[in-house]
Structure 1
Amino acid sequence: MINSNNFEVVIVGGSYAGLSAAMSLGRSLRNVLIIDSGLPCNRQTPHSHNFITQDGAKPSKISSEARSQVLKYETIQFLKDAVIKGQKMDESFLILTKSGKEYTAKKIIFATGIKDIMPEIRGFSDCWGISVVHCPYCHGYEIRKKKTGIIANGEKAFHLASLINNLTDNLTILTSGEADFTEEQISKLKKHNIKVIEKEISEIEHVNGNIENIVFKDNSRENYDAAYAALTFEQNSEIPQLLGCALTEHGYIQTDMTYKTTVNGVYACGDNCSRMRSVANAVASGNMVGATINMELTNENF
């Protein structure tokens, strides 16, 4: 039961970044409401890595423990709902949720993440976050020395290959169409014995999300243990843009070093504003934006 409609800060998104921001604010006795829909982007990922003290933990376990710790602070409240509209008022913001509730806040934090756009490959989404992954820092150690594919083309594929080459000597780039590499890139790929297959992919055969074979449109197939993929994405929420927040050329919410957006009073943290897509980075950015907002509120009221 939410005991107020007016808050100093409303945080839209209650995963790692949002919870981290809430803890930072709660420790300064700021009146905060977290609104979360309960659909984190890594809900299919079995284990989280590269986050000290939580290496190998289930993502849901980390967020559940974080939520229980955050809600011990008496000025923090949590609502499971979805925000469908945000509106700038004279000196505050109006937030409307899917269930029809309205709240006002002096400041808004968007910790809403991004939405991966899945390719039209059968079985791909079933494997996403399990054996088809996005980041060698988050998952590379666990699939080291395995037969690995990179489902990408051009600069993205080349960048991934340069990082993954240190983790396995059995690496193939699967461009699913004509390869798009410079002569210099092709030379480096050959130097490191990284193969390139240009055949289009039609399906990933798997068992419970674990790759067995990648099937091509000519009906040939090849066994792989794991694969990386560089996907396009879109913002999980369009509300920041509707409020006037600018996006970068890559599609992230534009922020400064303290996570202020281009709209006064609106902040963003986590995956929606950074290419460093990890639990550790989300937590760090949330901690920073919480401190930033506390200082802003202090300057306004002291």
Structure 2
Amino acid sequence: MENQYDVIILGGSYAGLSAAMSLGRSLRKVLVIDSGKPCNEQTPHSHNFLTQDGKTPKEISTIAKEQVEKYSTIEFYEGFATSGIKTENGFEITTENGDNFESKKLIFATGIIDEIPNIKGFKECWGISLIHCPYCHGYEFQNKKTGIIANGDRGFHIASLVNNLTEDLTIFTRGKANFTDEQFEKLKQNNIEIIETEIEELRHQNGMVESLILSDGKVLNFEAVYGAFPFKQHSDIAESLGCEMTEMGHIKIDQFQKTNVTGLLACGDNSSPMRSVANAVYTGNLAGAMVNAELVGGRF
């Protein structure tokens, strides 16, 4: 394997593969470095993506990679990128195995890692019946008894969306509720109960939630739970290279997926609160096109 490329893409899931295809079709020499650990690997079905509605995330990514591999200028490296530096001609990336690769441009499609609370049953249910997005999974849980584990503006926002899918809603704030007076009134008008008691366990069968067990011993039956939890970047290389971050913790980008670091773009979940396969594919495609435009400008 050579070590000089037009573009290195960190992350080989939907956003990274979409960026690679865009570049491969312009005959750019591309290296995709991927550790093979997508954040949605436990999710049984992906929805709200035309032509692929109901497929498993693995099915979609497998087809995508097979199609991208047909472009002869694209190469894949299985491993985790541990560091990166800015060079005179672009960037140099080092992997955990000590391999070094250089490129003129760099695209981050590294995704994020959800910091799920250390509560029994949460990990097993995450992405199955403990879900993050009503657009991606809400339709399948319509009219179900539903809990929302969130507080403040995020909890209120989720409640407003999910209320259109089911009227049987309860918010669990896991501590003192942090809503404005107007939000409290809206929640009350929509008969949404607020429970501040801590959660001890999410009881389930094969990832399908059955009940929440609270710290005071109460057992409350539920069929679906939404959660809004903190996250961290899957890779810290972008920040180490000087990329600005948003208040929420995303890589800060402009409307063309460009960061404040010249030649470095980001796409997918690492730079957008809209977490969906469709958005990852779109932003990856755009990032690839923008990188190609920069490469064209450098020689034409």
Please give the range of the TM-score, normalised by the shorter of the 2 chains: over 0.9
Q: CA deviation at 1:148?
A: 0.2
Tell me what 2:249 maps to: 251
Give unmatched runs, 5+ long, in structure 2: none
Give unmatched runs, 5+ long, in structure 1: none
- 198, 204, 228: which one pairs with 2:226? 228
- Rounded to whole Å, the distance in 2 between the matches of 1:245 and 1:289 is 16
Percent identical residues = 57
Q: List aligned pairs for 1:15-94, cutoff 5 A.
A: 15-94=13-92
Q: Deviations over 1:109-167 (max 9, x none)?
A: 01001111011211111111000000000011010100000001111111110000010
Tell me what 2:174 maps to: 176
- 82, 89, 112: which one pairs with 2:110? 112
Q: CA deviation at 1:176?
A: 1.4
* Aligned residues: CA RMSD: 0.7
3-state DSSP of counterpart to 2:186: helix
Match for 1:12: what amino acid? Answer: L
Tell me what 1:159 maps to: 157
Q: CA deviation at 1:243?
A: 0.5
3-state DSSP of counterpart to 2:200: strand
Q: CA deviation at 1:99?
A: 1.5
Calculate the TM-score normalised by the size of structure 1. 0.98
Matched residue count: 300
Match for 1:65: what amino acid? Answer: I
Q: Does 1:130 align with 2:131?
A: no
- Rounded to whole Å, the distance in 1 between the matches of 2:227 and 2:121 is 13
3-state DSSP of counterpart to 1:234: strand
Match for 1:239: what amino acid? Answer: I
3-state DSSP of counterpart to 1:231: coil
- Rounded to whole Å, the distance in 2 between the matches of 1:41 and 1:159 is 23
3-state DSSP of counterpart to 1:301: coil
Tell me what 2:297 maps to: 299
Tell me what 2:281 maps to: 283
3-state DSSP of counterpart to 1:68: helix
Q: Deviations over 1:28-87 (max 9, x none)?
A: 000000000000000010000000000000001100100000010010011111101111
Tell me what 1:99 maps to: 97
- Rounded to whole Å, the distance in 1 between the matches of 2:195 and 2:110 is 36
Match for 1:247: what amino acid? Answer: M
Match for 1:20: what amino acid? Answer: S
3-state DSSP of counterpart to 1:296: helix
- Rounded to whole Å, the distance in 2 between the matches of 1:18 and 1:232 is 23
Calculate the TM-score normalised by the size of structure 2. 0.99
- Rounded to whole Å, the distance in 2 between the matches of 1:245 and 1:92 is 15
- Rounded to whole Å, the distance in 1 between the matches of 2:175 and 2:8 is 45
Tell me what 1:274 maps to: 272
